[in-house]
Amino acid sequence: MVKDNRLLEKLAALEHEQWVTWAQTILSQETISDDRAGRWSNFFVPYEELDEETKEFDRIWARKVLEVINNS
C-alpha cells in the first residue's frame, strides 16, 4: 500500500511523460502502422487529462518504482 498517494501520482505522471517521449521517438524513427500510431497519439496528452483506466497503466509502473525504492 502506498502511504503517500501524491508521490504515486507524481511518479505515474513521470512514467507517462517517459512513455510519451519514447512513443513519439518510435513514431519519428520507425515504420508503425497507421492504426497503432493513431491509438498512441490519443494518449499524447498530459497525465492529468487521461481517464482513470489509462492512468492505472502508469500507476502500475510507479508502484514498481516505489517497491524498488522501499526494498533498497
Mean pLDDT of 1-24: 91
Could you report the per-residue pLDDT of 30-53, keeping only the tens digit for each? 999 999 999 999 999 999 999 999
Cα–chain center distance at 60 = 9
Percent of the chain at pLDDT > 70 equals 96
| Spans of all domains in the chain | 5-70
pLDDT band at residue 3 under the 50/70/90 scheme: low
CB 53: neighbour CB atoms within 10 A? 7
Residue 2 has pLDDT above 60, yes or no: no
Contacts of 44 (CB under 8 A, 6+ apart): 20, 23, 24
Whole-angstrom Cα distance, residue 17 to residue 22?
9
Predicted TM-score of the model (pTM): 0.88
Q: What does pLDDT average to over the chain?
A: 94
Q: Looking only at Cα atoms, what is the longest distance across the chain?
A: 42
